[in-house]
Amino acid sequence: GGVEFIGPNNLSTAKDHGGSYLYIYTNEMGYGRNPIAQMSGQKLKKVDSKMIDINGDRTVDGWEYKWDASGQQNGQ
């Protein structure tokens, strides 16, 4: 379990993520539209989003999204 950071070129995790919940965080930089996340072919529910301001100028540089992947811990 615990936190695991996944690099931009990684396609899988290295840790065992068993437990009652699994949340995935993604960052979208620049302009985007209608963000979605999928795991094992199933769309994940977006449960939170936060604005990213890289240099403190109060301009939106991107978004951090939190996705609920609970029930997908075993690659289901």
Average pLDDT in the 49-65 region?
A: 96
Is 8 contained in some domain? no
Is 37 a member of any domain? yes
- Say if 14 falls within a structural domain: no
- pTM value is 0.80
pLDDT at 53: 98
Rounded alpha-carbon distances, angstroms, from residue 35 to 27, 45, 49, 65, 76: 10, 11, 11, 9, 22
19 pLDDT above the threshold of 90: no
Residue at 11 is within a domain: no
Examine residue 76 and state whether it is found in any structural domain, yes or no: no
Residue 34 belongs to a domain: yes
Number of domains in the chain: 1
Q: Name the residue range of residue 29's domain.
A: 23-68
pLDDT at 76 > cutoff 50: no
Residue 39 domain flag: yes
Higher pLDDT, 74 or 67: 67
DSSP state of 12: S
User: CA separation (Å) from 34 to 20, 38, 53, 73?
Assistant: 28, 13, 20, 25
pLDDT band for position 66 (cuts 50, 70, 90) = very high
**Domain contains 51:** yes
* pLDDT for residue 74 is more than 70: no
